Chain A
Amino acid sequence: MYKRIIIVLAAVLALSSCRKDELDIVNPDFRYCYSYESQFETIWQGIDNGYVFWAREKVDWDSVHEAMLPVFRGFDAKGGATDAELTEAYGKMVEGLIDHHMYIQVKNIKTGNAVYADPAWSEVPSRDYYHPNYFNAQVALLPSMTGVTQYTEGVDAFPCYFALFPGTNGKKIAYFRFRSFSLSDLNYMVQTMQISPTALAPVVAFYGGYGMNGVEGAWAGSPQVEAVIIDVRGNNGGNLGDFYPMICSLTPYRTDYGYSRVKEGLGRLDYSAWVPFSLNSYPNHIGADKKVVVLADCNSASCAELTARFAQLFPHGTFIGERTYGATCPLLPGGHDLLYSGVFGDYNRYGYYCYTSNFDVVTSDYQSLEGIGVTPDIECLFDLSALQSGHDNQLERALQFIRTGK
């Protein structure tokens, strides 16, 4: 009897040890790397455990490790790599990843120089409508365009432009263009007198109140204005906090973009549930009787793309231009310690840095626009020859749409 009990207990102990061993997974956010191999392994693992798009990614990340590890070991074996070799190696590593916010910055151990890799660099320029950013050339045409009044421009720290165009029945079209969503930073600089308040004159003209009080007392809210144009061509995004006052003051409605989720563990497929991505209108917003047109192009990224998408969702909004860059999912710089995903590393301290998204955002029908971009309601591709002959064909198309409804 006792022998049997002992045998059974031994069996219990033996079988209970059948669970798999736990892995020692180290935080990729802060590691000192003294070899090309360790730099590669750290960045590979940081993306492996923290990348937010694995559920929809087509890249076989394990195969990437298998293919690229010998390359970086080879750099160590031969005593170093040139910047070009290292750039090419990291470019191959991230090639095909859909995250268009992503870039990797690594210090070349041999040369001390920074090298960069960005998965969007191999995708966006391959689009047949791709063109470089002609921001300065386009805004240079503004003051001389037909019927322009009230033209003002900002400063280099925050390039922004305001103008009134003639509309229909004696009304006006208020136009505002800006290069990045950095209005809060600029407000801070004005308050601390680092720059003159006149630097934000276009903002005040369009929004009033330095852009933080809706459109109260400004041209965008004026009854003399029948439509507004927000021009985010060449705008590379910025502070999501600025997005709310600047864009949600252009509608009286709550806007339902879709859903978002974040990582909820170190497994590639450890996700939180989807939660709504909806925003109420901002106080002192414009009325639904005003048309809202957003101009965006292939160089419009991040918040600029969200602006284009929100305009599509406004009942009174239209997006005119080109399919946008494809970096539609927000991130939290410094958020790796909170979410164990997104941006990790520190170039100055550890010699590597990876900039990547924290949120997986989809539309209300669960379609992801990451790596794809927002497709315009009215496509109007950039025309270099028109620009060279003094015409901004995309802005002219937007004005035509407002004036004719076509």
Chain B
Amino acid sequence: MVRSPFLFTGTVNKKNPCIMLKRFILLGLFAFSFAFGANAQSADNDHTFPGSLFPRHAVKNWSVGLFAGQASNNHIVNVAYAIDMKYSGLDGFTAGLTASRHFSGWFSLRADMAFVQKNYRLDRDGNFVSFMYTEMTNNYVSLPVTAVISMGRSFRLNGFFGGYVGYWLSGHREGKSLSVPYLIVGNEDDCYYDEAYEFSSERDNRFDAGLTYGFAVRCSIVQKIDLSAEMRWYYGLTDVQKKYMENLNPRYNTTRTLQFGLSYWL
């Protein structure tokens, strides 16, 4: 087991995050090239898009867009005997860019670049320490690639499934902790903190990957422009902690987003 000999939680390994970020960008480029590479092979094949307020009989076979919405996270951890530690999800924000390659009227491939917040809160139930809490704001960038199946005409219903890779960009935490002065004089003001979260290279796993799936409704509002409303889940398969000790329960994020977008047919 690799262990830092003298590590404050605040210590940030300056090297590893850069390497991870480079790998992440390469993966992102790969994901986009996957989507657009398929498009290049059949760029001359226009397809009829059967469902739209403005039916197109010779639509181009790819589209780009942007989206934004709300992210609601569920931080999943088994607290074992620490039964008064209660984790609950917090709402956040998501926004991003999307590109799709449409192979037919019912099937397409889609790649996104999304900023997703995966926030959570930890509360304490114990009598003496019930004032303690932590609210974590976690900022991730995610690159989901999904296969999309569409049906319908004026309003098209999309179902999609795929995978994503992501990177934990930054965090912020705010809360109250037990302080020594609180023990002595009982002043809760000494317990408050509000600060940028400093990563621990030994503990925090900033690489994120998992499954993503959901459904969307789309319609065209003007020629070449679609409006969409989408419910998406990011089902994390990577533990947010590194396996730095044996006696450790894993932690996962499952994040649901409700997002609205516009896409443009090229």
Contacts and interface: CB of A to CB of B under 8 A. Distances in A.
A266 B180 contact: no
Interface residues of B, number: 55
Nearest to B243: A20
Nearest to B241: A267
B183 to A, nearest CB: 6
A35 B128 CA distance: 35
B237 A273 contact: no
B119 to A, nearest CB: 16
Interface string B230-244: 000001010101001
Interface of B: 1, 3, 5-10, 78-82, 85, 122, 126, 128-129, 132, 134, 147, 149, 161, 173, 175, 177-181, 183-185, 190-193, 195, 200, 202-203, 211, 213, 235, 237, 239, 241, 244-250, 252
A229 to B, nearest CB: 24
B193 A274 contact: yes
A58 B129 CA distance: 30
B237 A278 contact: no
Interface in A4-44: 5, 8, 11-12, 15-16, 18-20, 22-27
Contact of A277 (B3, B10, B79, B179): B179
Contacts of B126: 337-338
B179 A26 contact: no
A276 interface: yes
Contacts of A269: 7, 9, 200, 202-203, 244
Contact of B184 (A19, A241, A274): A241
Contacts of A48: 245, 247
Given A24-B80, A240-B183, A279-B185, A267 B248 contact: yes
B82 A366 contact: no
Contacts of A45: 247
B184 A243 contact: yes
B250 to A, nearest CB: 4
A238 to B, nearest CB: 13
Nearest to B161: A8
Contact of B211 (A12, A262, A266, A339): A12
Contact of A20 (B185, B190, B203, B239): B239
B252 A266 contact: no
Contact of B80 (A266, A268, A271, A366): A266
